[in-house]
Amino acid sequence: MIEIVAIFFTALSLIIFSNFPFSFYAFKNKYAYYNLSYSDSLLLNIIINCNFLLLFSFFKVNLNYLFALIMFSSLTLVAKNYKSYYLLFKQNIYLVIFFTSIFYAMSAHIAQKAYLDWDGLAHWIYKTQVFFQGGEYKNLENVPFNWYPHLGPYLWAFFWKNSYLQHEYLGRIFYIFIFLISIFSLASKLSQKFRQIEKFIIVLSIGYLSTNFYLFGGYQEYLIFFSFFCFSRFMFHFSDNENIYKNSYIPEIALIGVANFLLWTKQEGFFYYIIISIIFLLHGKRNFLQKFLYFFLFLVFVFLFISIKNYYFGGLYFNENVINNELAKNLNFIYLFTKIILISKYMLISFIKYPIWIVIFLSFFILTFKSNFFVKNKFFYTFLFLSLSFVTAIFLQTGESLSYLLPLTLNRLIFAISGFFIFLPVAMLNKLKK
């Protein structure tokens, strides 16, 4: 019984956390012109607050005080606009019940399991413990893989420290929350022609096909999944409503916030940061000044990232040097071809392992040949090409045994990328419903 109460309070704190700084009232009234939904505000708030916590992770700040500050600010907004929130709750009561049930079921599974899997136990938990015990960024110098980005462990520690029982797994429930918020937000993008029960079935199906409980065992892939989801969703939204954002910098603020979140999540986040920035600069329907602003912010955040890594750890490190002897070996065509075949084999296995990819590729096919969806949204194609090319390049440059490495890591990389395309099944179903 006490575990259920603890999960309840964690869930409540996560909901409050995601309702600040933009309130539903603001999006309904002040920002209604921008056609942003309540689910959009939740996603934006999570991104903003995570960037806010990232800033404080470099200083010795009491996590309980930070938590109290965010909770108080959010509850003040909710209390001020309680009538709007009550009406929203009343209108979406079944969706709320559905979300709560799924969230509790998944959280209970994590609570029952309550142990960490390989990567979580090997190094992520050490960073988390540093922050949980009141440490700061500079204290990471003596933990394993200290050069790895730290935002995931900091968020893990933040919700662990501020949970009712202070059990470790309660901090990881944050990963479940952002995953479900992403999936359930798709309901608001489904055509009004779908009945409520149909929306529930669609959301449940997409969520089921995208769930891997193993990755909730301390891995960071759901953070990347969430980042990619937010970037593609807002990129699509801003492209679809480009006229009303013509004189607004909301797209730049939202997308650079997502990109910075991604930068501090995992090692590959540095390269994904470059990729999604290329996506915006190539496909963002913005003028030169607006793209220049984005590019300037892109350079600022990269400079800060590299400077911080250099100051604390002596440089920007990865598991292997980007330039190494393996690249010279790849000049041998037979050797290179053999590696590409092996990588392609495990990439195909990874696509099959996560059935959501089957739905995504089906959506690609239908939207390409049955509609003009990609005429305005070519960035999906560009990201697919760049991200899969990057994943392939990782394994082409490594000196590790591919027969050992590919089965362990490739499927997680492929899964994380799927977050960028989760919206496509919704777009496909909307087209078919017409």
Each of the 434 residues of the chain gets a pLDDT tens digit; together they read 688 888 989 999 999 999 888 776 666 666 656 677 888 889 999 999 999 999 999 999 999 999 999 999 999 988 888 887 888 888 888 888 999 999 999 999 998 887 898 888 888 999 999 999 999 999 998 898 888 999 999 999 999 999 988 999 999 999 999 999 999 999 989 998 999 999 999 999 999 999 999 999 999 999 999 999 999 999 998 888 777 887 777 888 889 999 999 999 999 999 999 999 999 999 988 888 889 989 999 999 999 999 999 999 888 888 777 777 877 888 888 999 999 999 999 999 999 999 999 999 999 999 998 888 998 899 999 999 999 999 999 999 988 889 999 998 999 999 999 999 999 999 999 998 87
Q: What is the pLDDT of residue 272?
A: 97
SS3 318: coil
Is 111 within 8 Å of 2 (Cβ atoms)? no
Is 152 within 8 Å of 124 (Cβ atoms)? yes
Q: Looking at residue 164, what DSSP letter applies?
A: S
- Cα–chain center distance at 225: 4
- Cα–chain center distance at 391: 18
Nearest C-alpha neighbor of 340 from the set 352, 351, 330, 350: 330
What letter represents residue 227's amino acid? S
DSSP string, 175-226: HHHHHHHHHHHGGGGS-TTS-HHHHHHHHHHHHHHT--GGGGTT--HHHHHH
Q: At what angle do helices 379-397 and 269-283 cross, to 10 degrees?
A: 150
How would you class 350 by CB atoms within 10 Å of its CB: exposed for 0-12, middle for 13-18, buried for 19 or more?
buried
Nearest C-alpha neighbor of 368 from the set 380, 357, 358, 356: 380
Q: What is the pLDDT of residue 29?
A: 63
DSSP string, 327-396: HHHTTSHHHHHHHHHHHHHHHHHHHHHSTHHHHHHHHHHHHHHH-SHHHH-THHHHHHHHHHHHHHHHHH
Is 34 within 8 Å of 92 (Cβ atoms)? no
Residues 6+ apart with CB under 8 A from 401: none
What are 224's two structure tokens? Answer: 């990347």
Q: What is the pLDDT of residue 26?
A: 62
SS3 163: coil
Radius of gyration (Cα) for the chain, nearest Å?
21
- Sorted by where each begins, the domain ranges of the chain are 2-241, 319-434
Indicate whether this model's pTM tops 0.75: yes
SS3 232: helix
Q: At what angle do helices 221-240 and 168-185 cross, to 10 degrees?
A: 30
Nearest C-alpha neighbor of 152 from the set 176, 175, 183, 178: 175
